[in-house]
Amino acid sequence: MSDDDNSPTIETETKMPSQDFQTIKSLAVSPSNDSNTPENLDDTPKPSIETKFYDKLEEYYTLKQEYDQQLRDAHTMWNNSKPPMSLEKKRENYQNFMMKRKCINCGKGPGGTIFSHVGVGQTRKVIAICGCEEKCNLNIEIYLGESAYLPEYIDYYKERVQELKKELTEYKLDLLFNLRDEEVVLAEFRTIKDQLTENLDQLLLYKKAFDTQNEELELGEKTLEIFSSFEQEVQPDEEGKYIVNRKKYLEIMNKNLNRLISEFKSKTKDYKKEPSKSKLKTNFEFLVKEVQNVQDSIRDEKYHIIYMDTVENTAKKGFKKQKMMDTYVFNPSKYDLDNQIVTMGNKITEFER
């Protein structure tokens, strides 16, 4: 701070859109991962509200696709007509087609179906209604909401919090060494402190949303039993869900895997001593249903996505210049991109057909 500046001003910051905690918390569920309960250990979870939303949105776009395809098919027919159709005739056919167009839902006309996409941000919505004079029940209104890439928001608020902490420290030093007018410094100090509180709240908010989708798992009955067997008690949250940290989950499940492998080895030794078809079948079922399930669960939670990249090899070998085999690179990804995005304001207000 400069000691000759008696009227300091705070530069206007470009803020990221802020959200209240309940908004983020209620939407911190990825459509690609309806429940974090490991499906290969516990019962398959029921479809979430988010899944139902995307099912209805897909139904809307399927309906619109069918409606638009009718016009594309008509254009194809006009363009491929024999003999070739004149431009004036095509325009006439187009006007007649649009005037007599039927509703995709009820099949009546004229009037067709009115599809529209309006609004911006959280007010974005798609609409579909019957355009006929005697309208059918078609009435669709879906708010698309506004998406936020959580790592970007977290990085922004982290940086902003550090900047504000630095400014507070500078004002404290100015006050300590009497470099500035005390009244002015205290006024600016309070303003920056309020900004720090606001930005810190937003940082914690988006960090909580990220952790909910990527670092927290809901345990089912079977996984709770596994945790209990290792004397790991998990308390239910305010919603009655048993939530654990992803790292803790992997730690306990790896212990469980080692225990199952030891048990399988013991069963194998027992089989070798007294071989029988029943023991062989039991061992195989234990390997598939117990050991393999836990291995799959560990892999699924350790890496959200596992994919292969192909690196083309242009080199050739031999007299016939045969192409060398391409290189395949194994790429595990800790976080799924879908799990790092939350959509705020998406909802279905009307859906009748």
Q: What distance in Å separates the CA atoms of residue 343 and residue 53, rounded to the nearest whole number?
A: 12
Catalogue the E-assigned strands of 181-321.
Answer: 216-218, 243-245, 305-311, 316-317
Q: What distance in Å separates the CA atoms of residue 334 and residue 275, rounded to the nearest whole number?
A: 43
Average pLDDT of the chain?
Answer: 85
Could you tell me the pTM of the whole model? 0.65
pLDDT tens per residue across span 315-352: 777 777 777 888 888 888 899 888 898 887 888 999 99
Catalogue the E-assigned strands of the chain.
Answer: 113-118, 125-130, 139-143, 146-149, 216-218, 243-245, 305-311, 316-317, 322-323, 327-333, 341-344, 347-352
Higher pLDDT, 303 or 182: 303
Please provide residue 39's backbone torsions phi and psi, each rounded to the nearest 5 degrees. Answer: -70, -25
What amino acid occupies position 146?
E
Task: Label residue 307 exposed, middle or buried (CB < 10 Å: 0-12, 13-18, 19+).
Answer: exposed
Query: What are the residue ranges spanned by the domains of the chain?
Result: 49-144
pLDDT tens per residue across span 9-57: 434 444 565 555 455 545 444 433 444 556 567 655 555 667 788 899 9
SS3 323: strand
